[in-house]
């Protein structure tokens, strides 16, 4: 039996997002493997995916949910204390050396001094900090820490060929054979969730909207479309409520009341996609882009930038526009809205493309990398 210790760091920082979602989906799949024993010493998190997962039901947080939520005395500092305790518990388990393999969930190298001779596998989700450092001036340590772990890792998983290419561009001294590409997947089903109080016609934007996600560019670019079709809305799923700055921009563009936002539970997401006219993903860069798969699996045509990992994920099912080219985005969106046959074609292609990606496949290929790391460790 292989014993894996999964650390908790990403769940201390991420309420929602691709990385925490990846680990929840992957390790939920791993729970089906009787030859694995997984230690996950998480005591508390605000992460939405964890709270909706099978891990939550048996967790310390679930068992003490009433106390944590309702204690007015402890509530201000108890979650922070429990998060620190989670890391301390991870360190204690590392010191015991009873695991075969360690899996960090982000780039804090705190564990290196406690790892001793045990192997670890690092998943690199993107090289966004290295490519766009001006967007991350508040996180100067991330690039340094990531480089340290990339160099020290027994094996590295890159979530797309593009991420592997970017990694080797910035760190050409890393042996390319140390890096394995394992694609992600989606969990969208075809069950439509009704009564979601959605507009009849809307263009969908999913997830965070800040910096390289390019929301402001997207809204500005499609103003002519919104003027041409006064019954169409922009619907933002997730990403927290619209900020004062975003609301001000929306007002300036004459779109007050036509840009809506709602956070969601996973079970609602399929309905958001299924009822949308299309999903637009104008991001400047993604290591993979799970929402692209989700949209296609739900029968929602996708308009996205022709850069980074997107062509790998969407294939010929995607409708591509040149990054940051508002005229191109407007043209592609207009073509889709006025041509029902084009829309049907990309829906069909999208469902077929999304079917190529499953978490079972991701888990099987990830386990192969884990076994390679264990073999290298034993041979070393």
> Which domain CATH number covers 294?
3.40.50.2000
Instruction: Give 287's pLDDT tier (boundaries 50, 70, 90).
Output: very high
Residues 167 and 234 in one domain: no
**Stretch 99-124: mean pLDDT, rounded?**
97
- Say whether both 85 and 176 belong to one domain: yes
Residues 335 and 370 in one domain: no
Q: 214 and 248 in one domain?
A: yes
* Statement to judge: residues 307 and 173 lie in one domain: no
User: Residue 123 above 80 pLDDT?
Assistant: yes
User: Given pLDDT bands bounded at 50, 70 and 90, which one contains residue 279?
Assistant: very high
> Does 22 score more than 60 pLDDT?
yes
Mean pLDDT of the region 150-179:
98
The answer to whether residue 30 sits within a structural domain is yes
Q: For residue 192, is it within any domain?
A: no
pLDDT exceeds cutoff 80 at 141:
yes
pLDDT at res. 82 = 87
Residues 169, 30 share a domain? yes
Q: Are residues 180 and 316 in the same domain?
A: no
Give percent of the chain above pLDDT 90.
82
Q: What is the pLDDT of residues 246-260, one digit of tens each?
A: 999 999 999 999 999
pLDDT for position 25 = 96
Q: Provide the domain count of the chain.
A: 2
> 191 pLDDT exceeds 70?
no
Report residue 268's pLDDT band, with 50, 70 and 90 as the boundaries: confident
146 and 228 share a domain?
Answer: no
Q: In this predicted structure, what is the pLDDT of residue 211? A: 87
The per-residue pLDDT for range 194-234, each reduced to its tens digit, is 556 889 999 999 999 988 999 999 999 999 999 999 999 99
In a domain, 190, yes or no: no
Confidence of residue 76 (pLDDT cuts 50, 70, 90): low
Q: What is the mean pLDDT of residues 11-24?
A: 92
Q: Is residue 80 part of a domain?
A: yes
Task: Write down the pLDDT at residue 328.
Answer: 97
Do 216 and 301 fall within a single domain?
yes
141, 232: one domain: no
Looking at the domain assignment, is residue 193 inside a domain? Answer: no
- Domain range for 102 is 2-185+359-379
Span of 46-50, 337-341, 342-346 with lowest mean pLDDT: 46-50
Question: To the nearest whole number, what is the mean pLDDT of the chain?
Answer: 93
Residue 242 has what pLDDT?
Answer: 95
Report if residue 49 sits inside a domain: yes
Looking at residue 64, its pLDDT comes to 87
| Shared-domain flag, residues 109 and 222 | no
Same domain assignment for residues 151 and 84:
yes
pLDDT at residue 160 is higher than 60: yes
Is residue 285 included in any domain, yes or no?
yes
What percentage of the chain carries pLDDT values higher than 70? Answer: 96
pLDDT at residue number 258: 97
pLDDT, mean of residues 287-302: 95
Q: What is the mean pLDDT of residues 31-50?
A: 93
Q: What integer pLDDT is reported at residue 71 of this predicted model?
A: 65
- What is the three-state SS of the chain? CEEEEECCHHHHHCCCCHHHHHHHHHHHHHCCCCCEEEECCCCCCCCHHHHCCHHHHCCHHHHCHHHHHHCCCCCCCHHHHHHHHHHHHHHHHHHHCCCCEEECCCCCHHHHHHHCCCCEEEEECCCHHHHCHHHCCCCCHHHHHHHHHHHHCCEEEECCHHHHHHHHHHCCCCCHHHEEECCCCCCCCCCCCCCCCCCCCEEEEECCCCHHHCHHHHHHHCHHHHHHCCCCEEEEECCCCCCHHHHHHHHHCCCCCCEEEECCCHHHHHHHHHCCCEEEECCCCCCCCHHHHHHHHCCCCEEEECCCCHHHHHHHHCEEECCCCHHHHHHHHHHHHHCHHHHHHHHHHHHHHHCCCCHHHHHHHHHHHHHHHHHHHHHC
What integer pLDDT is reported at residue 194 of this predicted model?
A: 52
Residue 156 counted as domain residue: yes
């Amino acid at each position: 039996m292989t014993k894996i210790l999964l650390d908790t760091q990403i769940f201390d920082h991420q309420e929602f997002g691709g990385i925490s979602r990846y680990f929840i989906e992957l390790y939920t799949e791993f729970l089906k493997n009787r030859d694995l024993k997984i230690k996950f010493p998480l005591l508390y998190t605000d992460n939405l995916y964890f709270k909706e997962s099978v891990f939550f039901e048996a967790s310390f947080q679930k068992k003490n949910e009433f106390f944590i939520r309702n204690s007015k005395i402890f509530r201000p500092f108890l979650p922070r204390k429990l998060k620190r305790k989670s890391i301390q518990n991870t360190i204690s388990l590392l010191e015991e050396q009873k695991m075969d393999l360690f899996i960090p969930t982000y780039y804090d190298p705190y564990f290196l001094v406690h790892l001793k001779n045990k192997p670890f596998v690092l998943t690199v989700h993107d090289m966004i900090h290295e490519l766009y450092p001006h967007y991350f001036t508040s996180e100067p340590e991330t690039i340094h820490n990531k480089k340290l772990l990339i160099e020290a890792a027994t094996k590295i998983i890159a979530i797309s060929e593009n991420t592997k290419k970017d990694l080797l561009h910035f760190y050409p001294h890393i042996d390319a054979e140390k890096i394995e590409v394992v694609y992600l997947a989606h969990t969208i089903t075809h069950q439509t969730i009704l009564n979601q109080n959605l507009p009849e016609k809307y263009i969908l934007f999913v997830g965070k909207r800040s910096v390289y996600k390019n929301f402001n560019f997207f809204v500005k670019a499609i103003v002519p479309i919104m003027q041409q079709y006064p019954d169409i809305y922009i619907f933002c799923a997730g990403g927290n409520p619209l900020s004062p700055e975003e609301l001000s921009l929306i007002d300036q563009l004459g779109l007050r009341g036509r840009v809506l936002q709602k956070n969601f539970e996973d079970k609602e997401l399929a309905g958001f996609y299924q009822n949308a006219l299309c999903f637009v993903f104008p991001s400047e860069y993604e290591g993979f882009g799970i929402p692209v798969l989700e949209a296609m699996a739900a029968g929602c045509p996708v308009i996205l930038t022709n850069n980074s990992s997107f062509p790998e994920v969407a294939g010929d099912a995607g409708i591509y526009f040149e990054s940051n080219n508002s005229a191109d985005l407007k043209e592609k969106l207009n073509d889709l809205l006025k041509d029902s046959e084009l829309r049907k074609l990309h829906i069909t292609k999208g469902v077929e493309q999304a079917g190529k990606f499953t978490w079972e496949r991701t888990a099987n290929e990830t386990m192969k990398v884990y076994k390679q790391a264990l073999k290298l460790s034993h041979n070393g």
